[in-house]
Structure 1
């Protein structure tokens, strides 16, 4: 019987670059764009090797067929056609190493496993695509290979690794229960290991965390946890690696801050794809080099952190206001919906004080990110993005505007009063300043990894 799972994309609303440092917290919004995996498999007596086929039918040549040899105390994974997909292969390797039996308890039968991956349209540009229906789902199909399709920066690799990890774990451990916090933590830890190894570096992990747990405030794990894990290729036996991996992913040493959050009622996160694209590792490399050499870098980071935490506090306070005084809150949002951020900041009204702090924190964050852009050479908020964000802030109902995550040309991110959205779309539709922007049909997603109904995918 097939099982299916999905994991959300992400937008790092507050915490760009600081999220790499364990002393700082960030605010990650999970998005309704989801990565999906449908898995089915069976044990086959007499099969020489387990075969795991991963299909991504939305892209040309989107199939990877892995032959698994775990006899003789090792774990060899070979792709039949020599195709390279590190995120798929490391997900397979990590789960199989985790569930591996000791050599004297080898499984007698080998398995044929098939996993079909689907991605919602917001992860990639949808130009020159064809819609196809799978059960109750509709997906966009591309004519090119996945590596040639422009991404929008919503965390496709983290979502892929998280759903693959969950799907494979569910095959070998059918009792997997995503309502169990311990199971979610295990999936998260396995996915972090696989994702870091696939990337060839140990990132902050916020994207995998959001894919697993949904919208959260996040503070990273210690990179040494994964860097000190001896690679499988350097271990003398699979059992040696299995024991080390199992000890790591089941340990309590991760010390990650992950607290569920939600955007305030009536406030929507709006993502705009600008059909650009950025090389995040290069941006990060330039910023890290700047931080090592600029004596002002520590104070700049501290200023961004204070503004980030003010923004987080304001969002939390708005949620509290809605719970305790819902009618006053709704009246406030209605009043704000006809004003732009400059008009709100210029009105000295007691009821606007919380919004003044929110708008001010957004301005401070952007000011400091532009400083880093100038001093490091990393185009976090380049001039074109500055002009675009400033134009957005002149539209009624837009409370905050940022280039999310590492910045660059992937996308822009706005906090907009929901009541203002129709007017916002009308104002931007024929404005040449927004001619290169596609507003994505997204919403905040409270859920992280979840089990879906395989029948919804026609399986």
Structure 2
């Protein structure tokens, strides 16, 4: 009855929206302390008709599979299909190739913040404040519609990437490939957030992390049906960092092979192993800072009724290509401006991280700045420069959205962000990642009264129903929480 439990964090892309799709452009992705969990357990009571069962209590769903002769087949009684679960299982089992017959029960769970908290707050007559959010029980089930189906309103934390990464990591640790020669410790050495975690032995801590990352990127792209930027999976694996994408040419051939019905062939297995184990992905994919500078913290808010317009990235890329065709040697307005501003924002974060890491930052100075709005900060301070840089980034992102006919920062979000910027201690309020109507992110000086003031503004905002998410930035990526033999 072996049990393996693993988890991976959600994310927020503060810097690099759209531009991070290109390898030459870096993005700053922040991992959160809210996580997706996957528990893999041997279950000898299962029979050959369904020897893998995946349960999702929060989604009111169960998926059953038959795995035999290196082939994974969904059972006919499955009421729904979850590509992220099914295709991750398929890729991982093809890679791991368990030598003995398997009978697995898998449970997937997510922290509440991955999905809208508003129905739960309203059901309990609670206010929309950070304090009320903290009182909610963990792993609350999604509400159901009149037909009994789960109503899933995502908050933009990268739930699919965190799900895939946690499931990949749990399976890899449950069926470690022979090439790693893994020797797990029998007792946990430390605890993180109340969960047991194992320190990897020196002979595995690099290879197995990279293999989990590579397998998760492959599985996520396979499930999505496209090769994305990969920053969400990278954050789920590595935590907070400066990210540059892997080469876009790396995966299409493999994904095409996986789409073929007979994809359990030896040639596909060989291609999968080569890409996971021997093919160089990219240098400098993950760079510091690996956490927010200690004087700063982040909070996100869920916006009721929001939904990201489909094909936003394609529309922006088409607009950019059109501008390039008009003037191949000239500057692309907004796009090239953002290149410089994004690099500047990352450099300022790195500068602040270096100071906070050395312990040289002035706590009293930040206490004072936390009582002032950003426009009142000394113009020569790094924090004022960072706030001004974000303001310019917001302007160009909004204007680029208008030019491409994409709601990157809709007017409603602009008003909410501007209202948030009036709170003393707020560095920036923006629409993270690709933008749209789903959520806003706020970077603030890490003082309790600043967070409380942000919560008051959001709870009393009239034009939209805004709900703060009870999360903060974290330096922790993928984590092995439990390993029981």
Tell me the equivalent position of 1:134.
Answer: none
Is 2:233 the counterpart of 1:208?
yes
Distance (Å, rounded) in 2 between the aligned partners of 1:278 and 1:430: 20
CA contact (8 A) 1:273 1:411 kept: yes
Describe the SS at the equivalent of 2:90: helix
Tell me the equivalent position of 2:113.
Answer: 122
Tell me the equivalent position of 1:99.
Answer: 96
Deviation at 1:324, TM superposition (A): 4.2
Tell me the equivalent position of 2:247.
Answer: 222
Deviation at 1:176, TM superposition (A): 7.7
Is 2:271 the counterpart of 1:274?
no
CA contact (8 A) 1:151 1:277 kept: no
User: In structure 2, do the counterparts of structure 1 residues 267 and 231 end up closer, same or farther at CA, with 3 Å as the change threshold?
Assistant: same
Tell me the equivalent position of 1:247.
Answer: 274
User: In structure 2, do the counterparts of structure 1 residues 197 and 146 end up closer, same or farther at CA, with 3 Å as the change threshold?
Assistant: farther
Is 2:84 the counterpart of 1:87?
yes
Q: Which one of the candidate residues 408, 411, 430 is aligned to 1:402?
A: 430
Distance (Å, rounded) in 1 between the aligned partners of 2:372 and 2:336: 31
Deviations 1:120-146 (A, max 9, x none): 000001344489xxxxx8321123277
Describe the SS at the equivalent of 2:282: coil
Is 2:200 the counterpart of 1:166?
no
CA contact (8 A) 1:100 1:242 kept: no
Describe the SS at the equivalent of 2:437: coil
Distance (Å, rounded) in 1 between the aligned partners of 2:138 and 2:263: 46
Deviation at 1:309, TM superposition (A): 1.5
Distance (Å, rounded) in 1 between the aligned partners of 2:358 and 2:440: 32
Tell me the equivalent position of 1:231.
Answer: 257
Distance (Å, rounded) in 1 between the aligned partners of 2:483 and 2:431: 36
Tell me the equivalent position of 1:75.
Answer: 71
Deviations 1:236-255 (A, max 9, x none): 75222111100011124200
Is 2:428 the counterpart of 1:376?
no
Deviation at 1:322, TM superposition (A): 2.7
Is 2:151 the counterpart of 1:148?
yes
Higher deviation after alignment, 122-131 or 89-98: 122-131
Is 2:450 the counterpart of 1:424?
no
Deviation at 1:172, TM superposition (A): 1.8
Describe the SS at the equivalent of 1:231: helix
CA contact (8 A) 1:44 1:110 kept: no
Tell me the equivalent position of 1:189.
Answer: 214
Higher deviation after alignment, 181-190 or 299-308: 299-308
Higher deviation after alignment, 441-450 or 48-57: 48-57
Deviations 1:229-284 (A, max 9, x none): 14235357522211110001112420051124211112111111112433365211
User: In structure 2, do the counterparts of structure 1 residues 339 and 127 end up closer, same or farther at CA, with 3 Å as the change threshold?
Assistant: closer
Is 2:37 the counterpart of 1:9?
no
* Structure with greater proportional helix content: 1
Deviations 1:95-129 (A, max 9, x none): 1111237xxxxx4x422101101100000013444
CA contact (8 A) 2:417 2:429 kept: yes
Distance (Å, rounded) in 2 between the aligned partners of 1:404 and 1:221: 21
Deviations 1:309-357 (A, max 9, x none): 211111221222234463x52122112111112222xx45x4x2x1232
Distance (Å, rounded) in 2 between the aligned partners of 1:218 and 1:325: 25
CA contact (8 A) 2:458 2:468 kept: no
User: In structure 2, do the counterparts of structure 1 residues 258 and 434 end up closer, same or farther at CA, with 3 Å as the change threshold?
Assistant: farther
User: In structure 2, do the counterparts of structure 1 residues 253 and 97 end up closer, same or farther at CA, with 3 Å as the change threshold?
Assistant: same
CA contact (8 A) 1:428 1:434 kept: no
TM-score when normalising by structure 2? 0.83
Distance (Å, rounded) in 2 between the aligned partners of 1:120 and 1:343: 37
Deviation at 1:63, TM superposition (A): 0.8
Distance (Å, rounded) in 1 between the aligned partners of 2:154 and 2:459: 25
Describe the SS at the equivalent of 1:64: strand
CA contact (8 A) 2:59 2:141 kept: yes
Distance (Å, rounded) in 2 between the aligned partners of 1:91 and 1:395: 43
